[in-house]
Each structure stands twice: as structure tokens, then as C-alpha cells.
Amino acid sequence: MSLAGLKCLVTGAGGFLGQRIVCQLLEEEENLAEVRALDILISSETLQNFGKLKNKTLLTVIQGDIRDRTVLDTAVEGVSFVIHTASIIDVLGHVEQHTLWDVNVRGTQNLLEACILSNVQHFIYTSSIEVTGPNSRGDPICDGDEDTVYQNSTHAPYAATKKEAEKSVLELDGLPLKNGTSLVTCALRSMYIFGEGSPFLLKHLDDSILNNNVFLRTSRKEALVNPAYVGNVAWAHIQLAKAMRDPEKLNRVRGQFYYVADDTPHVSYADLNYELTKELGFGIEPKLAMPLRMLYCYALLLETVSFLLRPFVRYIPVINRSLLTLLNTPFSFSYKKAQRDFGYVPRYKWEEAKQHTSRWIAKMIPLRAAYLNKKPI
């Protein structure tokens, strides 16, 4: 089903995934009437990239906060479908919990309310694999699917906000709208996303440069996950948007969540960094800095120090138990349901995704090295 002639709003359009979705929408062969790109900040470089792709589709950039209802009411007016990627990702605790909830949960609820008032029929929510887990025990999953039963006992704030926001989205599927239609909602739980522009990959790259071009071993080799390339995750959103307009697929996808992966080999998070850079001369430490149990004890010690210092100073540990569990639990999922229900097939093969990402890393190496050399100790 075509998206030609429709108006779309993408939130988080200045982010790693959001800007890739905007680019793919602008590349659509059958032009949309308008793509609205909403974010609190969109860099000049991102705007230039958007400008290179502009065709007959009108691109409207809206600078505003997802928590500002006035901005949202204007942004959704006359829109046919919304792709909601905006959120704060925080696994270390740099962001206060109330801010996480305001943006990730209340911001999503604000957007839903604005869509309902404006009769926006289709709403796609970018969820996260962390909604599923891993749990605090580190129970593994190998090639799970949407029917896999898993007891999630994690209390990580970011995961909790994504879970609550996803629940808010899916619960409203089927809600009658004033124009006689009904709201159609769906959520995509993406695996860890890599690719050009990844802020996490940049952080790991910085650490490796400071470690003589050797990546730190943050996860066991046995902790296999299946990361997904940013271009494929963006493509899944667009394929789902088309399926929502297809009468034959609509009832299959509405109110559902789907895991989004691709054909990237199952590797640990640390070994993914190495796979993307080994041809550039990078190495990786052969094992963890200390046995995993000792790392958990170390993380607990840092968390305790952080708690004790809280009345006096805000100290954020470089590692915590929740992140250690995430990095060291085998946790992978199949995308077969997405393939079956709305025809999702990865747009980029692993070798192509790897090549694109490696080329970007090669360009970033001298820039990051220069930045780190000037950075005060």
C-alpha cells in the first residue's frame, strides 16, 4: 500500500533513528504530501542531509519539546500517521527519573491525546528490547519471539518508562475517533541499533582510542545478542506504516508489538564493536577486566557510594548491575512475525550494513582522536 499524498509526523527526528526514518520517507518513490520532523533540537548537519533528499515532498521542521502540548497540537494537525521515536535513552542514571518519566511516558501520552483530538488514525511507537528484558537474574533467551514467555523483574528506570509508554500506546488501539474511524496503534521493539551516527558507538570508539585502539571487553563472548542496523530498523517503521493502510494487513498488525532485527550475526555487544572496526586495525581485549561476579560486586559498591553521597553530591557510577546484566545476558529474537504480518524484510544485508558503518567510523577516527587529545584531563 502506498503512502503517496499522506502527511506524516516523525518525533525525535533529530535523533539517530528518527533522522534515518525521515530520510527514507523523503526517498519514497511515491511522494508523501508532507513529512514533519519534530525534535527539541535538530543539528545543521542533519538539516543539510534532509535538504539533499528533498523532492516533491514538503519537509517541515518543527523545533519543540514532546512535553509541550501546544507544540504537539500544531504538529499533528492534518497528519495521517505518526511515527513516535522521541525518548531519552539512559542506562547509567545521568538523567533524573522524573525527567525520564516526563519525556518517555507523559510525552507519549500527550502525543496520543493530541492525535485523538486531531483524528490522527495511525500511530507507530518505537519501543525497545529492554521492555522484555533481560531480567535481574539474567535469564537468557535465544531466538525468542512475540509469544516467548519471560518473567521480567528488572527495575531499571529507562526500561520501566519504555514499558509504560508502550502499554499506553497499545491500550488505545481501536479507540473511536470523532470522524468515525478508530485509532490504530502498533509498537516495534528494536534490538540494539548500530550504524552511522550511533552515539553509543562513538562512545565506545573514544574509549578504544584512549586504550591504544583496543576495545574494552564489556561483555562475555558467550552473551550473544542480535543487533540491528539503523537502516533496517527505519525501514521496518515505513513497512509497518504501509501495512496499516492495507485492509488485508490492518487487522493483523493493529494493537500488536513486533521485534525488529535483521541478519546481523549473533555476537556479544563488545564483539560487535570489534567486527565493525577490525579491518581498520582495531583490537579487542580477550576477556573481562575481572570475573563477572567480581564486576557485580564492584558495581554494587559504586551504587552504594552513589547512594551515600546523594545528599551532598551527584555521583554517577560508570557501571551498574543492571547494565552489566544487559551486556552479559544472551538475548536474541526473531523478526519472523514482522515478516509474516507486514512483509518486513531487511533492506540492507549484513555486509552492506557493516561496510556503511565501517566507512563512517573511518571518517570519525581522526576527528575523535583530535578531540580527545585536546580534551582536558
Q: What pLDDT does 359 receive? A: 97
The string of DSSP codes covering 298-361 is HHHHHHHHHHHHTTT-----S--HHHHHHHTS-EEE--HHHHHHH----SS-HHHHHHHHHHHH
Q: What pLDDT does 53 receive? A: 81
Give tens-digit pLDDT for 253-273. Answer: 999 999 999 999 999 999 999
| Catalytic annotation present for 258 | no
Domains and CATH numbers, the chain: 7-197+227-274+331-351 (3.40.50.720)
Give tens-digit pLDDT for 186-214. Answer: 999 999 999 999 999 999 999 999 999 99
Q: What is the pTM of this model?
A: 0.95
Q: What pLDDT does 55 receive? A: 78
Cα(118)–Cα(130) distance, integer angstroms = 31
Least confident of 51-65, 91-105, 106-120, 239-253: 51-65
Q: How confident is the model at residue 8 (pLDDT cuts 50, 70, 90)?
A: very high
Q: What pLDDT does 193 receive? A: 97
Give tens-digit pLDDT for 151-188. Answer: 887 778 999 999 999 999 999 999 999 999 999 999 99
Average pLDDT rounded to a whole number, residues 334-349: 97
Q: Which of 125, 150, 158, 259 is the catalytic position?
A: 158
| Residue 376 reports pLDDT greater than 70 | no
Distance from the Cα of residue 301 to its chain's centroid: 30
Instruction: Give me the amino acid identity at 127.
Output: S
Which residue is associated with the grid cell 542533519?
Answer: 46
Least confident of 133-137, 184-188, 333-337: 133-137
Average pLDDT value over all residues in the chain:
94
Average pLDDT rounded to a whole number, residues 12-19: 96
Average pLDDT rounded to a whole number, residues 236-258: 95
Question: Which of 119, 57, 50 lies closest to 82, judged by CA?
Answer: 119
Give tens-digit pLDDT for 315-324. Answer: 999 999 999 9
Q: How confident is the model at residue 377 (pLDDT cuts 50, 70, 90)?
A: very low
